[in-house]
Structure 1
């Protein structure tokens, strides 16, 4: 990892969730998100890093969670993720080397092969893990995203100071 990451992209199923799909009899899809992953995303955004979700499925739960976390870009129903990557790097004026992507399955390989900091959770398929610069000890939906973000932020920032400033900023908002 030679360059500073300016954009972090997340897959959803198997990364932000444990990959379980719960579908009610009325067709409503339910997903479980890890709150510590969410705090990690908020901390990365506070550090000035843009965030994005690219997922193959479409879900109102993803839309709601992305909204709660103020994720900068959300692409759902995407089966060829590289196009979204190219669109975002062009808009942001960055290179693919300045992108971290966290994925877990075969459809993530093309984008993992292009970014500067490819990562995966411990539950990723072996072919994905073999292409990752960092594989978390935690599984998707179980803190993998937080672990990866904490690792990266600690390599680029005074992590304790960043957290202190983040907490202080939240106090100001709540007053």
Structure 2
């Protein structure tokens, strides 16, 4: 017999165990996302007796208490708990509280976390012993969910349907350089020569865009011979260096190529780029861009600046426009 039992099956097991003199400990909860607080709590609960039973709220029961939960379905939550060596049995209940289940199973000990006062523990009147175990401060499923939401709220792991639709219309890509095409490091020698490190995959992505008929421009406030050389290698002629008036250059490009807003994609990493990003039909930022920029773009790439961020958006544009397979076929048949 496995560890996950129905209340009826569990009742029979408890009766057998009590005849052997075993002390039965009962606890309950959602146990949605298992964390260190759960582990410590369950270990301590097991020490209060010989057999530990964990009753978990069914999915319907959880939704009555927390409408947006559970994150993980009841069968998976039960399986995770049953894999723990200090948990002897797992069962589910559909009610709002486990009161009727406790009454039915008749455990010896009832345990809850320290956020419960003993007098408030549901079912405490039905057992011989009731305990409220220490609560691990700052550790809860809700805290974990909030951390994830805060950390990734501006980080779209995959392009959204809206981003893909916008990418289909792109005819022109405008890029910042430092912090986009490079990591943002500035390397100068004693003779004031500036060195830059470019990513090969970024470069090939731009080559594919160029071949697909999508024009590219770079706009940067600095001036570098290295950038001029690299852009020449990639066949990019719209290279605007040494300008702080990026918006002026943007409008010149729009006029020169007769562009509509929805035909322009742009990528930048710092607040100076917001003037262009806000006027582009589709805007991107690298993963390590300034937080203010990430709040104001359509998508934040998985990759960091100078480490594949530009290639990532090149691939998105090509796939959205239905041009990706053309390059796969071309390179597969070389």
RMSD (Å), alpha carbons: 1.6
Q: Deviations over 1:130-163 (max 9, x none)?
A: 1111111110000000011111211111412234
Any stretches of 5+ residues in structure 1 without a counterpart?
A: none
Question: Secondary structure, in 3 states, of the residue corresponding to 2:287?
Answer: coil
Tell me which of 67, 91, 99 is aligned to 2:264.
99
Cα drift, residue 96 of structure 1:
2.4
Structure index of larger Rg: 2
Q: Which whole-Å deviations, capped at 9, do the CAs of 1:47-104 have from their partners, x for residues lacking one? A: 1100000001011011011111011300001112111111111111111221111100
Tell me which of 206, 209, 225 is aligned to 1:60: 225
Match of 2:235 in 1: 70
| Aligned counterpart, 1:88 | 253
**Conservation of the 8 A alpha-carbon contact between 2:301 and 2:313:** yes
Distance of 1:3 and 1:151 partners within structure 2: 9
Q: Distance in 1 between matches of 2:285 and 2:266?
A: 8
1:25 to 185, 190, 215: 190
TM-score by length of 1: 0.91
Is the Cα contact below 8 Å between 2:168 and 2:320 reproduced in 1?
Answer: no
1:159 aligns to 2:292 (yes or no)? no
Q: Residue 213 of structure 2 aligns with which residue?
A: 48
The residue that corresponds to 2:293 in the other structure is 128
Distance in 2 separating the partners of 1:146 and 1:119:
12
Please say if residues 40 and 145 of structure 1, whose CA atoms lie closer than 8 Å, have aligned partners that are also in contact: yes
Q: Which piece of structure 1 moves more, 72-81 or 138-147? A: 72-81
| Greater Cα offset, 13-22 or 1-10 | 1-10
Question: Relative contact order: is structure 1 or structure 2 higher (C-alpha 8 Å, sep ≥ 6)?
Answer: 1
Give 1:168 shift.
8.3
- Give the Cα–Cα distance (whole angstroms) in 2 for the partners of residues 83 and 3 of structure 1: 26
